[in-house]
Copies of this chain bind each other. A is one copy, B any other.
């Protein structure tokens, strides 16, 4: 039987849960920033440390989910409180996946050859900064419950896709010109894709912030699929 006699206890646990999500957000941001830095500076120590640290994100996700479900089972929250608990689970899912993508970038950066194409690395660095910036901004929006900020991040989701498109074309051109670059080129393609996916998760997180505040679904309000869909590399 739910313990509904303790609304203040429920509010207190919800705050602790949101703080745990914020902490996980901080770690996920760090992982993404380090993955991009490790790639650009070819810092294998940084990349290896990042791969180790990913375990913490996995553990935090499990912990946040457990606590959210336990809280719902104990207090039977409704309305905004229930949305806050569900949002914590959704946040944890998205942040854990960002961590996986950062770890995958680090793993690939460890096996790239030392001579990589400078122009492409600069483009990846720009793309990495945008992805990390989106993630950081949207975690801020979650922490501050800033719905307008979340909306503005959500609306800017094409920016990173444009970078991805042009990088994709550049990488194919390089691989056509120089068969010796095909191995590195393939890993760089996936690294670019991972950064684009991190940008998508920032978009998802913006939707979580909006849902938590309003109970509404952004993709229904303004469906993604009503936008132009000509770009085949969108997944």
Contact = CB atoms under 8 A, between A and B. Distances in A.
Number of copies of chain A assembled together: 2
A183 to B, nearest CB: 6
Interface size class of A (residues with CB under 8 A): 35 or more
Interface string A27-69: 0000000000000000000000000001100100010011001
Contact of A176 (B73, B104, B182): B182
A172 B183 contact: yes
Interface string A147-184: 00000000000000000000010011001110110110
A104 B182 CA distance: 23
A111 B232 contact: yes
Nearest to A220: B62
Interface stretch (A18-26, A125-133, A188-196): A188-196
Contact of A55 (B83, B168, B225): B225
Given A108-B232, A175-B179, A72 B62 contact: no
A79 B83 contact: no
Interface of A: 1-2, 4, 54-55, 58, 62, 65-66, 69, 72-73, 76-79, 82-83, 86, 89, 93, 100-101, 103-104, 107-108, 110-111, 168, 171-172, 175-177, 179-180, 182-183, 186, 189-190, 193-194, 217, 219-220, 223-225, 232-235
Given A1-B78, A62-B217, A186-B189, 9 more contacts: A55-B225, A58-B224, A73-B77, A93-B93, A100-B235, A101-B235, A172-B186, A176-B180, A182-B182
